[in-house]
Amino acid sequence: MIRLKLYGQPTSTYEYVKMKIKEHAQKAGIKIRIDEIKDIKKLISEGIESIPTVKVNNHINLSFNKNEEINDFIKKVNLALLQEGDYRIMKKIIVPTDFSETSWNAMAYAYGLADAIGGVINLTHCYLPSAVDVNTLTENTIKEMKEKQLDEFFEKVNKEWVGEKSSKPMIEKTFKLGFPVEEICQMAKEKEAFIVMGSTGDTGAFKKFFGSISTAVSQRSERPVFIIPHNATFSGINRIAYACEADEIPDANIDAVSMLATVTGAEIHLVHVEEEEEMDMYFDLIKAWKEKYPDNSIQNHFIQSEDVNEALNRFVEQKDIDLLVMTHRKRGFFDDLFHKSHTKEMSINSRTPLLVLQSKP
C-alpha cells in the first residue's frame, strides 16, 4: 500500500485533487491510504509553502504552483503514484522517437491505444554518437542537444494531448545512450512493455535510418511491437486480423491479441493464406484458439493465393480491419537464405497498423 499525505484546506480544488487521485489509483489497481492534513499549525511546522501539496511515501514531495493548471498538477501526482506502485495493472507502452513526423504519428497512435487499454506511455530517445558528430562537437555537447530535443518534443506532446483531462494517459520520458535497437528491445523486456514505432513506408524503409530501426526492432524484440504506417490514425480497435500459420498456436505469443480483443471488445479474424487448399491443420488451429480463448469473438477465413502479402492487404481493406497481427518466427541462417519473411515485408508495406509478435523459443 502506498501512503499519501494531502496538505491543504477543504476547498473545491482540494476535494477535486483528492477525488482524481483516488480515481486514478483505482484505475491502476494501486492501493493507497490518504492522510489529510488540514491544520494550519501542522502545515507551517512541516514547511508547506503551497497548497495543495502531496507527499508520496514521505520521499516524494509535490506542491501545486499557482502558475500551472490544476490538472497538470494532478497528472504529476498520478505519475509519481504510478512509478512508486510499479504501474500495477497499467499497460506499459514504449514509443521510440527520432523527433520526426513519422515518430510523431506513432506517438499519436500510442496515445489513443493507451487511452483505450489503460496504458502509460514512455517516450524514449536513443542516441548513438557517430564519428562525424564527435569530430565536430564534444560528446557531452551532443548529448545535451539531444536531451534538449527530447524535452522539447515531450513538451509538444503534453501541450497537444495531456492537458485535456487529468484522467487521460500518463506520459513519461527516457533518454538513453547506445545502439537504438538493443536499447529499445532491452527496455521493453525489462518493463514488460509494448513498443509502438512508425514505419516510413515501402519506398524508403531501408534508406531511412529510423525505418530500418523499426523493422529490426520488430524482428528482435521479445515483446509485442506495433508498426504504424505514416498516415494511420487511431480510431479504436473493432476488428483484429491475425494472419496465422496452421501450426502456430503452440509457439506463438498470442496472449496480447486476446487481451486487446477483450479490453476493446474487438472481433478476431483468423486468416490463413495458402497456395493450395490444405484445410486439416487450419481446422486444428481454429479449435486450439477457441479452446484457449473461449470468450473472444472469432471468425475464420481461408484464402488461396500465391502472394501472401497482397492477399492480406486486400483482406484488411475489404473487412475494414483496424489491426493486422503476424508472428515473426526466428529461423536459422540457411533457412533465411531460402525463405522470404512475410512479417518483415508487411512491417514495411502494410497499409494498416501491424502488431508483430515473436514465436516462443
Same domain as 333, residue 317: yes
Same domain as 121, residue 169: yes
The pTM of this model reads: 0.82
Same domain as 206, residue 252: no
172 SS3 class: strand
| Contact present, 273 and 308 (Cβ < 8 Å) | yes
Closest by Cα among 41, 25, 128, 142 to 74:
25
The x, y and z cell numbers of residue 94, run together, are: 514504449
Same domain as 125, residue 30: no
Same domain as 300, residue 272: yes
Please indicate, yes or no, if residue 198 is contained in any of the structural domains: yes
pLDDT at 97: 92
Same domain as 327, residue 310: yes
pLDDT at 239: 95
CA–CA dist 309, 343 (Å, integer): 9
Please indicate, yes or no, if residue 234 is contained in any of the structural domains: no
Last residue of a domain, one of 16, 50, 84: 84
Same domain as 308, residue 286: yes
**Mean pLDDT, the chain, as a whole number?**
82
pLDDT in tens, the chain (361 residues): 999 999 998 899 999 999 999 999 998 899 999 999 999 999 989 889 899 999 999 888 999 988 888 888 998 899 999 999 888 888 999 999 988 888 899 999 999 999 999 999 999 999 887 655 555 566 678 888 889 999 999 988 877 765 445 567 889 999 998 899 999 999 999 999 999 998 854 444 333 444 478 888 988 899 999 999 888 889 999 999 988 765 555 455 678 888 999 999 999 998 888 766 555 666 766 777 777 778 788 888 888 887 887 888 889 989 999 999 988 765 443 334 334 455 555 555 567 899 988 876 5
171 SS3 class: strand
Q: Going by DSSP bridges, is the β-strand pair 267-274/171-177 parallel, antiparallel, or unpaired?
A: unpaired
Closest by Cα among 314, 317, 341 to 329:
341
Q: How many CB atoms lie within 10 A of CB 305?
A: 14
Please indicate, yes or no, if residue 203 is contained in any of the structural domains: yes
Last residue of a domain, one of 50, 84, 118: 84
Please indicate, yes or no, if residue 233 is contained in any of the structural domains: no
Q: How far is CA 146 from the centre of its chain?
A: 22
CA–CA dist 97, 115 (Å, integer): 19
Please indicate, yes or no, if residue 280 is contained in any of the structural domains: yes
pLDDT at 170: 87
pLDDT at 332: 43
DSSP of 36-94, one letter per residue? EE--HHHHHHTT--SSSEEEETTTEEEE--TTS-HHHHHHHHHHHHHHHTTTTTPEEEE
What are the φ/ψ torsions at residue 86 (nearest 5 degrees)? 55, 35
Range of the domain at 207: 91-228
pLDDT at 130: 66
CATH code, 62: 3.40.30.10
Same domain as 266, residue 244: yes
The x, y and z cell numbers of residue 132, run together, are: 562525424
pLDDT at 88: 82
pLDDT at 281: 61
CA–CA dist 60, 98 (Å, integer): 31
What are the φ/ψ torsions at residue 247 (nearest 5 degrees)? -105, 25
CA–CA dist 290, 300 (Å, integer): 11
pLDDT at 209: 42
Residue 320 backbone zone (phi > 0: left; psi -120 to 50: alpha; other: beta): left
Number of domains in the chain: 3
CA–CA dist 271, 10 (Å, integer): 58
Same domain as 75, residue 142: no
pLDDT at 63: 93
Last residue of a domain, one of 205, 228, 251: 228
CATH code, 294: 3.40.50.620
CA–CA dist 343, 220 (Å, integer): 12
pLDDT at 204: 42
Please indicate, yes or no, if residue 45 is contained in any of the structural domains: yes
Please indicate, yes or no, if residue 66 is contained in any of the structural domains: yes
pLDDT at 333: 37
Which H or E run includes 3? Answer: strand 2-7
Closest by Cα among 151, 27, 148, 6 to 82:
27
